Amino acid sequence: MATAKDAADRRCLVLSDCKPALQQIEAAYRKGSLEGLREWDRGGALEGICRYRAQLESVTFLWVPSHAGCASNAYADAAATAYMGASEIEDATAVIRGAVRTRPCLYTDRRRTADREWGREVLDRRTYYATRGHTNEWVRGRLGEGLTAGSHTAGVTGPLWSDVVRGTTRHKWDKR
């Protein structure tokens, strides 16, 4: 897209149902400098988006409500659902990795998803916090094995077990 010879004459319309992501993209673009994005959550992805956005004539981001009859969103959801069973997984993060210049490397996170398939994504947070988050997810998953919906409350009033676990697995350095 942005690597074409006529990129400066191209316009792009991006429809998204994720309002926080659109707000973060806009804040990063208005910041002007890509240097400080290294400290942001999803900083590498934001840097790549801003770099490609600057190469095009015009980029318009438009928020659309999810599951509300927007044909292009329904088409994208259908394509993603159909692709989930594919045996080969395209490395979609290669486009972003090629546009990041403010950091020496980007890590690719490879882990099992909820349906026990391997997923890959750009790891855009510091390694300590990412590892801590993955460990917390794994522990919560193991604690939740065999539980049916609502069985963890068992009629108990007051703080639930899940609240106790959430409160005790957070480290004092954790900024989330």
pTM value? 0.53
Token duo for residue 139: 């522990």
pLDDT by residue for the chain (176 residues), tens only, comes to: 445 677 777 888 888 888 888 998 898 888 887 777 767 777 778 888 888 888 888 888 888 887 777 787 788 778 778 877 777 767 766 777 777 777 666 666 776 666 666 666 666 666 667 777 778 877 887 877 776 666 555 566 666 666 777 666 666 666 65
Separation of alpha carbons 67 and 64, rounded Å: 9
Judged by DSSP in three states, 116 sits in: coil
Tell me how long the chain is.
176
Name the residue with tokens 């794994």: 138
Quote helix, strand, coil % in the chain, to nearest 5. 45, 15, 40
Beta strands in 90-171 (DSSP E): 107-112, 118-123
Closest CA to 77 of 14, 17, 22, 19: 17
